[in-house]
Amino acid sequence: MVQGILNKGRILSATLALVGSFTTPLAAQELAGAYLAARHAALQSDFNVAAAYFDRARLRDPGQPALMEETVLARLLSGDVAQALPIARDMVAAGIPSQAAHLAMVADLGAQGDYAAVRAWDTQAQGIGPLVDGLLTAWAAVG
């Protein structure tokens, strides 16, 4: 009888420990799930879906630079510069180095037709890359 109670107690303890290990980091699971879904969508070139899942992940960790970068990149690749721009501005304001954020900001200037601002863009401090910077300079000169 006592042995049966001890066995039931051990089983109950093991079950509670196992259940506790699955339910404790619920926020982490939600973050990881959204991030993994976003990465999968991006690998499938479904950038609208990827951006939506990256946005979900950013709700759990809004200032995380890698999530911000991935979100901006997914938005840009889906052609949604307007949605990428606020995140890009936040990254620049926070001092987070990001080629994608700089590209979003320059793309917005180009969309507004502000070629003078594109020509004045500081490629040393906010460059995107040598090839793209050169193309942007030429594109802005042509207008």
3-state SS track over 52-111: HHHHHHHHHCCCCHHHHHHHHHHHHHCCCHHHHHHHHHHHHHCCCCCHHHHHHHHHHHHH
| Mean of pLDDT values over 3-7 | 48
- Label residue 22 by pLDDT band (50, 70, 90): very low
Mean pLDDT of 52-57: 94
**Mean predicted confidence (pLDDT) in 112-133:** 83
What pLDDT sits at residue 26? 41
User: What's residue 28's pLDDT?
Assistant: 45
b/e for 56-77, b at 16 or more Cβ within 10 A?
bbbeebeebeebbbbbbbbbbb
Q: Compute and round to an integer the Cα radius of gyration of the chain.
A: 23
Average confidence score pLDDT of the chain: 82
Global confidence as pTM: 0.73
**Tokens linked to 57:** 């992940």
